[in-house]
Amino acid sequence: MKYYPIFLDIRDKKCVIVGGGEVAARKAERLIDCGADVFVISPRLSPELAESDKKDMICHIAAEYTDYFINGAALVIGATDDEKINARVADDARTKGIPVNIVDDPKRCDFILPALVKRGDLAIAIGTGGKSPALARHLRQELENKYGKEYEILLNILGNLRAKMEKNAGVGKDWFSSLMAEGILESIKAMDFKKVKEIVKKITGEEVEIDFN
């Protein structure tokens, strides 16, 4: 099976995780990071999820799973250690037309979750079609070593410039390539932000603020 790669906006949308263990905690962490309204259905919670519940980062429903709890969800993740419950979650979600992911069971998934490298708003996703999560993790580690904090800073600069440059007809469309050719990435790596600002001013004529925290 080939999967259609997509980045989905789930901000303020109901996303349901069935299961309260360590795997569920990892799935919840990414959903929370993306701004979802995360509902966790499980009689008990792992320490990580219990802490998230204490901080009101998730909504914990301390009950056994029923299909009622997934009504209105944008997506559902089944993360229990009970194959029968996971199968029910998959069947119920599909009956209701809700995309579902069952952890470690690609045949019951409408979508799978890639290994992810995050640098601020930069996200590099690695997928293997569900064939080898181990390879995906290996590639993620390689990419984490290759793409460091400098890419987060670079992306923030480019994001700040984009709207300005779209209005600036006097600057060539290939200003990104010009910035890279001038060594903006290398200057960011060296933490030489004075040089970075000089490069941006030279190529675009614009002033930029740099967030390097």
Task: Identify the CA nearest to 130 among candidates 99, 97, 91, 103.
Answer: 103
pLDDT at 15 over 80: yes
Whether pTM > 0.75 for this model: the answer is yes
Q: What is the pLDDT of residues 161-209, one digit of tens each?
A: 988 887 765 555 689 999 999 999 999 999 999 999 999 999 999 998 8
Integer distance in angstroms from the first to the last C-alpha of the chain? 41
> Given this model, what pLDDT does residue 14 score?
98
Domain 114-147 has CATH 3.30.160: yes
Least confident of 127-131, 158-162, 165-169: 165-169
Quickly name the fold that domain 14-113 has.
Answer: Rossmann fold (3.40.50)
Q: What is the mean pLDDT of the chain?
A: 93
pLDDT at 213 over 70: no
Least confident of 41-50, 54-63, 199-208: 199-208
- State mean pLDDT over 25-50: 97
pLDDT at 212 over 80: no
**What sign does the dihedral 49-55-57-59 (CA atoms) show?**
positive
Q: Where in the chain is the domain with CATH 3.40.50.720?
A: 14-113
Q: Where in the chain is the domain with CATH 3.30.160?
A: 114-147
8 A C-beta contact, residue 130 and residue 102: no
Contacts of 11 (CB under 8 A, 6+ apart): 34, 35, 36
Percent of the chain whose predicted confidence (pLDDT) is above 70: 96
